[in-house]
Amino acid sequence: MLRCRGDEDQTTQGYRRRAFARAINARRDVVVDLSELVFGDSSLMLDLAALARRLRAHGSMLRLRNPRPPVRTLIEQMGLHRLPGVHLEGPAPALAY
């Protein structure tokens, strides 16, 4: 399991790449807990997409768990949740009327 907390952007990319490299070698589904991620930028989404592609090549999935509404919106806007081998878990945000 990987856990993203606080802010993830280009300045933290080096830290997450080491964790992602270890996750690729796990040879099983990887869960990314996003429940404590306050902000993520497009560099995080691209890194997650690359991780999903590498996992899928080994027959595994990337499971994105419990993103906060702004992070979930970014995932959906970038289409990360539609990539093969990516599963978005957790409740969808409530619709406002």
Structural domain boundaries in the chain:
2-89
Residue 8 has pLDDT above 70, yes or no: yes
According to CATH, what is the number of the domain 2-89? 3.30.750.24
pLDDT tens, position by position, 30-85: 999 999 999 999 999 999 999 999 999 999 999 999 999 999 999 999 999 999 99
Distance separating alpha carbons of residues 39 and 6, to the nearest angstrom: 7
Question: How high is the pLDDT of residue 63?
Answer: 97
Question: How high is the pLDDT of residue 97?
Answer: 56
In order of 15, 42, 97, the CA distances from 31 in angstroms are 17, 19, 33
pTM (two decimals): 0.90
